[in-house]
Amino acid sequence: MSASRVFLGVDGGGTKTEFVCIDDDGRERAAIKIGATYHPEIGLAEVLHRLHQGLAAACAAVGVVPADLAYAFFGLPAFGEDRVIDPQLNAACGAMLGHGRYRCDNDMVCGWAGSLACEDGINIVAGTGSIGYGQHRGRAARSGGWGEVFGDEGSAYWIALRGLTLFSRMSDGRSSKGPLHAKFVTHIGLEHDIDLCQRVMGPPAMSRMDIAGLAPLVVAAADEGDVQAMAILDRAAEHLAAIAGAIRADLGFAAAEAVPLSWSGSILTNATRVRSRFVEIVTTGGFHSVTPRTRAAHGAALYARKLATGLVRPSALAARQPN
């Protein structure tokens, strides 16, 4: 394989980051996973260190150096949301590669590129956080992705917070106890329920990733018939469907058009109740659900290949930001 025809896709995230190399036919030649690259939590310096490590490992796996890559696409969490950090991230990626054949954008693009194989439509990401992104006739738009403090509805973090609230209500008698209560006690290792305060808020406090990691407990409780946990998951699906509706309106799809809609991230991929309710809602709202065609990291590499051909107009590269 010619070294000049290797394309790199990087799918960053709040839990993990994956580097994928493909050849000109789209065949995967290497896949390297590293830790989170969410700079609001781990800092810019650590993000750059991890990106450098991942880039070196991915290139070594296919026997090239970064300068040989035909094109690279870096989908990074929180990119496009900080006017100070964004230029530094962008410049650092160029310095690591040693050339200008690359582009940086938010990791939401990776989810769309993988789920829909870079074709027009909308993708909803529900992992540690949540966000939606779509393209239509050279335009791009996003919705959601406001962060865990006052946004990211329907995400693992959002679900976990509501699970923690429900646990506290079950503990002190404001809600009837269901399977969720015992699951939190066992998983966190609580001697007394009130110990949850110290375990979550510290010191040391749980990280964003640690809190998001509690979401599967809510999912498991719902699977065992906990009606209050079920309600949390159903509300999560409604929030995610609302993101899809907002993007559809922004992109100007025709009212009668069945818009392709897919998903990525741990919640919509693994939480069957959330995904089923989500698909049910959007199907009645003029969408055509599409099972993800490939994972986000492979999609990032496919998008790098597409960018290299010049088929993507500049107006499609950056989604319109909220006013």
The answer to whether residues 67 and 7 belong to one domain is yes
C-alpha to C-alpha distance for 148 and 128, rounded to whole angstroms: 9
The domain that holds 40 is classified in CATH as: 3.30.420.40
The answer to whether residues 42 and 162 belong to one domain is no
Given this model, what pLDDT does residue 319 score?
Answer: 57
Contact 14, 128 (CB under 8 A): yes
Sorted by sequence, the CB contacts under 8 Å of residue 43 that are 6+ apart come out as: none
C-alpha to C-alpha distance for 270 and 268, rounded to whole angstroms: 6
The answer to whether residues 41 and 154 belong to one domain is no
The answer to whether residues 134 and 247 belong to one domain is yes
C-alpha to C-alpha distance for 283 and 47, rounded to whole angstroms: 38
The answer to whether residues 287 and 297 belong to one domain is no
How many structural domains is the chain composed of?
2
The answer to whether residues 237 and 307 belong to one domain is no
The answer to whether residues 230 and 309 belong to one domain is no
The answer to whether residues 99 and 147 belong to one domain is no
The answer to whether residues 108 and 204 belong to one domain is no
pTM beyond cutoff 0.85: yes
Tell the residue number behind the tokens 């269901």, with chain if given: 178
Range of the domain at 9: 3-117+293-316
* Sheet order of strands, 28-35 included: 28-35, 16-22, 7-11, 71-76, 102-106
The answer to whether residues 73 and 165 belong to one domain is no
Residue 322 resides in a domain:
no
Given this model, what pLDDT does residue 322 score?
Answer: 59
Residue 321 resides in a domain:
no
Given this model, what pLDDT does residue 311 score?
Answer: 56
Spans of the chain below 50 pLDDT: 1-3, 314-318
Q: Where are the beta strands (DSSP E) in the chain?
A: 7-11, 16-22, 28-35, 71-76, 102-106, 121-126, 130-136, 139-144, 259-264, 287-289
The answer to whether residues 160 and 277 belong to one domain is yes
Sorted by sequence, the CB contacts under 8 Å of residue 206 that are 6+ apart come out as: 199, 200
The answer to whether residues 17 and 93 belong to one domain is yes
Residue 323 resides in a domain:
no
Residue 27 resides in a domain:
yes
Handedness of CA 129, 288, 318, 143 (dihedral sign): negative
| Greatest CA separation for the chain | 66
Sorted by sequence, the CB contacts under 8 Å of residue 302 that are 6+ apart come out as: 7, 9, 22, 26, 113, 114, 117, 118, 294
Residue 14 resides in a domain:
yes
